[in-house]
Chain A
Amino acid sequence: MLALAAGMFLASCEPEIEVPSISAGSQLDLTKYVAVGNSLTAGFQDNGLYREGQLNSYPAILAQQFRIVGGGEFAQPLFSEAEANGSGYIKVGSLVGGIPIPEPVAAQATRGGTLPGGAKALSKYLEPVQNLGIPGISVLTSASAAYGASNPYLERLLEPAEVGNKAYIQEVLESQPTFFSMWLGSNDVLGYALAGGEPSNPTQALTNKATFENIYTNFINNLTANGAEGILVNIPDVKTVPFFTTVPYNALTLTTQAQVDALNAAYGSGALGITFTLGPNPLIVRDPDAPAGFRQIKSTELVLLPALEGIALQGYGSQVPLPGNLFLSEREIDEINDFTSSYNQVIKNIAAAKNLAFFDVNNYFNTIKGGFVMDAVTYAPTFVTGNLFSLDGIHLTPRGYAILANEMIKTINAKYSAQIPTVDATKYRAVLLP
């Protein structure tokens, strides 16, 4: 009895910190949130879309926090538990000399057959969904009725009769959101960048600037026609994405004089203006415009992540000049920067014109380039060790998505005078290592 009384007394005397007031404010209607975007919105990570990534997608995190302030339910096109591996993905199989060697995890959500263009068809999901993140989609393809036939992630959401006959924009508009997030446009430039500036199909080309502006503006005009509020997110700078920043230009490290001599002899003993020295050397890259068809890479040029294994194991960048699709030349980088800033200007303008929240993720990644510490954990946009980016070097880890979701919540709070709480990002995983 006494113990009970004492227990009650002590329980009632616990230290209390006034909980910050929580509210969506008076300007937001979060009844129906719809997420518009590409792979980053779908929850793509580790080079695949699978159930864990979907469950931890930033739209799922936003919706979960919206619910705390009265938001509605949020449906995602989740792969079933039986098909949890979804499209398949990669994990770290082993670490060789500190380099993670990827190990594929097989797809489980293929339904047999291939789509035009060669992609494997995925299990259909025909219930209405609010996470409309479609890996691979761009502003350009969002307006194409035919695109739904070749993109397996869009195809799986469309009724059979709609496949090849319904543009993504239409699918989005039919969802009739009261609030939306739109992070679209990365693929209009990323397809080109990922291909090392050497597009092998039309989706890898840079989207015409005027076309981008027309489609994007039309998309937002329609989406906000019924008064929906939303947040627009722009396109990150490729120079803040590990896929482009992990392998240094001088990744050719020579440790013996014999290696130096052999390479010097192989490359014309200096006659071509190429010499090798002990220590780090610029990689040799293929360049049809160079007199010899190859040259040393410049320090301002970017080597793509997939070159890592080739450099370590197949003599890429030394005996074998690095192919043009494994690096971005100065000219290609300038082009990418030019298109990125042009697209970003469109996004910023329409956000202002429509009085929408605007999250400048391009600037955000630039501000954290040097890393930051949160909750005694160091984060940086670096491959594997930075905790933010997943094993494909482009898409985020669940932790990275949670941190971005928190930044978006802060942006929404500021724009709409809301007090939506952010999440504890440490509850979400970073990179798993064997």
Chain B
Amino acid sequence: MKKKFLALIVGSLLSGAAMAGGYQVNLASQRQIGMGHTGTGITTGTSSIFFNPGAMSFLRENGVTIGASGIISKIAYQAPEPSGATAMTDNPTGTPFHVYGVFGISDKLKAGLGVYTPFGSTVNWGNDWNGRFALSELTLQAIFIQPTLSYQITDQLGIGAGFVYAIGGVNLQRDLPLQNSEGAYANAELDGKANGVGFNAGIFFKPSEQLSFGLSYRSKVDMKVSGGDVTFSNIPTSPAIAGRFPAGTEFDATLPLPATLTLGAGFMPTQDLTIAVDVSHVGWSAYKSLRFDYSQDVNGSNFAENARNYKDAYIYRIGGEYNVSDVFALRAGAYYDGTPVQEGYLTPETPDSDSRGLSVGFGYKLSDDLSVDASFLYINKKKRTDASDLSGGIAGTYKSVAYIPGIALNYKF
């Protein structure tokens, strides 16, 4: 049954619309989503593989967690005044997922494997909006596979680290401002598989029953596409034009998935209440430009590059969990995620702005071994107006919201 579930979610769309800053997708654990996606300064069960490998060594039982979220997101667009042009994305429901397994090699040493989707984006503006020459549709996928070891040095201190192998892909479609004799616009589709490597390391310190701290660092992962396919269609057939958009063109590109450094703390004033706070620094400044290098000249150039010049951003999170009974826990949380996109650089692929997240969730123990976590996250990004004149973007006002329900099963053994 579990296998079927896994096959189902892996087989469906993996990426969510980018609903955190940039194209980050912070949906790594249903319990933690309920708590505002905090988790670096507390033990979070198997998902410590993601939140803080140092805390994994504090797990007392082996366990497996499998969960997924559904991102229902929409972005509204209004062209600069006094234009009457508007648009709304028709994004497919994104389904980021996470699977974690932790196994105790000894009391002190734990091994784990995590498979999760911390980055991704699916934005579909369609072929009818005024920005279609910049972007009609973008799909970015990244799945991180992270084998992890964690060691409990003392009763109070644990360390852990994991190696990250990331696989994914990119698909970008846009119209070209070139019309054939029937008036149809030419379009370009770039499609390629990507991979990259990185690591995730953490330290967890629990000086007392009431207090804990954690520090984690998830490294930058450069997702490299090599030999992706560039497909042109509806190009006017005259050799003078068609020759500028040659068939069989391939592209190389690198998309940096930025490093995230997180400091977290947990307060457990009573046995039934946990409060967690996290502050993350996301190294978005690694994303300088979006560049595609072509294997042959396309419209007279062997590359296309647009500046992005993201800046580093901070995320502030707070969340709590209250055990209503032995089998039932309620959770709530909130966060503020600063945008990495600077003025003039807004793009329709990531029309990002400072975002506010509000979450609720619950956990229910079905038996001693089996429990379920469910969460609901609402994300509201500030309305943002930008000239987009430095990024090759589309000027106008953008507003995004997302509704993200999710569920996970935990099995202990």
Do A14 and B88 have beta carbons less than 8 Å apart?
yes
Do A375 and B131 have beta carbons less than 8 Å apart?
yes
- Which B residues lie within 8 Å of A373 (CB)? 389, 392
B393-409 CB contacts (< 8 Å) to partner A? 393-395, 397-401, 403
Q: Which of B77, B132, B395 contacts A426 (CB 8 A)?
A: B132
- Which B residues lie within 8 Å of A10 (CB)? 72, 403
Do B238 and A421 have beta carbons less than 8 Å apart?
no
Query: What is the CB-to-nearest-CB distance from B253 to chain A, in angstroms, rounded to a whole number?
Result: 18
Do B394 and A375 have beta carbons less than 8 Å apart?
yes
Would you call B11 an interface residue if the criterion is a C-beta within 8 Å of the partner chain's C-beta atoms?
no
Do A434 and B83 have beta carbons less than 8 Å apart?
no
Would you call B6 an interface residue if the criterion is a C-beta within 8 Å of the partner chain's C-beta atoms?
no
Bound CA–CA A117/B395 (angstroms): 51
Do A17 and B399 have beta carbons less than 8 Å apart?
yes
Do B79 and A424 have beta carbons less than 8 Å apart?
yes
Q: Which of A68, A97, A387, A413 contacts B84 (CB 8 A)?
A: A68
Do B397 and A433 have beta carbons less than 8 Å apart?
no
Would you call B85 an interface residue if the criterion is a C-beta within 8 Å of the partner chain's C-beta atoms?
yes
Do B82 and A433 have beta carbons less than 8 Å apart?
no
Would you call B298 an interface residue if the criterion is a C-beta within 8 Å of the partner chain's C-beta atoms?
no
Residue of B nearest to A430 (CB): B179
Q: Which of B130, B177, B397, B403 contacts A17 (CB 8 A)?
A: B397
The range of chain A's interface size is 35 or more
Bound CA–CA A13/B180 (angstroms): 40
Do B179 and A432 have beta carbons less than 8 Å apart?
yes
Bound CA–CA A68/B85 (angstroms): 13
Query: What is the CB-to-nearest-CB distance from B305 to chain A, in angstroms, rounded to a whole number?
Result: 14
Do A387 and B177 have beta carbons less than 8 Å apart?
yes
Bound CA–CA A426/B393 (angstroms): 15
Bound CA–CA A431/B240 (angstroms): 15
B171-204 vs A, CB cutoff 8 Å, 1 = contact: the mask equals 0000001111111000000000000000000000
Would you call A273 an interface residue if the criterion is a C-beta within 8 Å of the partner chain's C-beta atoms?
no
Do A94 and B72 have beta carbons less than 8 Å apart?
no
Query: What is the CB-to-nearest-CB distance from A17 to chain B, in angstroms, rounded to a whole number?
Result: 4
Q: Which of A16, A376, A420, A434 contacts B394 (CB 8 A)?
A: A376
B92-148 CB contacts (< 8 Å) to partner A? 130-134
Do A15 and B72 have beta carbons less than 8 Å apart?
no
- Known contacts A16-B76, A16-B399: does B179 contact A410 (CB below 8 Å)? no
Bound CA–CA A41/B84 (angstroms): 23
Would you call A422 an interface residue if the criterion is a C-beta within 8 Å of the partner chain's C-beta atoms?
yes
Bound CA–CA A373/B306 (angstroms): 14
- Known contacts A14-B88, A15-B400, A95-B240: does B82 contact A413 (CB below 8 Å)? yes
Q: Which of A376, A420, A431 contacts B82 (CB 8 A)?
A: A420
- Which B residues lie within 8 Å of A430 (CB)? 177, 179
- Known contacts A376-B392, A424-B83: does B76 contact A13 (CB below 8 Å)? no
Residue of A nearest to B393 (CB): A376
Bound CA–CA A427/B179 (angstroms): 12
- Which B residues lie within 8 Å of A427 (CB)? 130
Query: What is the CB-to-nearest-CB distance from B113 to chain A, in angstroms, rounded to a whole number?
Result: 34
The range of chain B's interface size is 35 or more
Bound CA–CA A409/B239 (angstroms): 40
Q: Which of B74, B84, B237, B400 contacts A434 (CB 8 A)?
A: B237
Residue of A nearest to B88 (CB): A14
Do A14 and B76 have beta carbons less than 8 Å apart?
yes
B356-384 vs A, CB cutoff 8 Å, 1 = contact: the mask equals 00000000000000000000000000010
A1-32 vs B, CB cutoff 8 Å, 1 = contact: the mask equals 00000000010011111011010000000000
Residue of B nearest to A94 (CB): B238
Interface centre among A91, A377, A424 (most CB of B within 10 A): A424
Residue of A nearest to B81 (CB): A20
Query: What is the CB-to-nearest-CB distance from A309 to chain B, in angstroms, rounded to a whole number?
Result: 16
Would you call A366 an interface residue if the criterion is a C-beta within 8 Å of the partner chain's C-beta atoms?
no
Do A376 and B399 have beta carbons less than 8 Å apart?
no
- Known contacts A376-B392, A376-B394: does B83 contact A432 (CB below 8 Å)? no
Bound CA–CA A98/B389 (angstroms): 30
A373-406 vs B, CB cutoff 8 Å, 1 = contact: the mask equals 1111110000000010000000000000000001
- Which A residues lie within 8 Å of B153 (CB)? none
Q: Which of B77, B84, B132, B239 contacts A423 (CB 8 A)?
A: B84
- Which A residues lie within 8 Å of B395 (CB)? 374-375
Do B403 and A13 have beta carbons less than 8 Å apart?
yes
Query: What is the CB-to-nearest-CB distance from A227 to chain B, in angstroms, rounded to a whole number?
Result: 26
Do B178 and A433 have beta carbons less than 8 Å apart?
yes
Bound CA–CA A233/B329 (angstroms): 71
Chain B contact residues, CB within 8 Å of chain A: 72, 74-79, 81-86, 88, 130-134, 177-183, 236-241, 383, 389, 392-395, 397-401, 403
Sort A-B residue pairs by CB-CB distance and give the 10 closest, nearest first. Answer: A421-B84, A376-B134, A424-B85, A95-B240, A433-B236, A15-B76, A15-B399, A376-B133, A377-B177, A17-B78
Jot down 11 A-B pairs with beta carbons below 8 A, ordered by A: A10-B72, A13-B401, A17-B77, A65-B84, A68-B84, A422-B82, A424-B84, A425-B130, A430-B179, A433-B236, A434-B238
Other contacts beyond A65-B84, A434-B180: 5, CB < 8 A: A15-B399, A19-B86, A432-B183, A433-B238, A434-B237
Chain A contact residues, CB within 8 Å of chain B: 10, 13-17, 19-20, 22, 65, 68, 91-92, 94-95, 97-98, 373-378, 387, 406, 409-410, 413, 419-427, 429-434
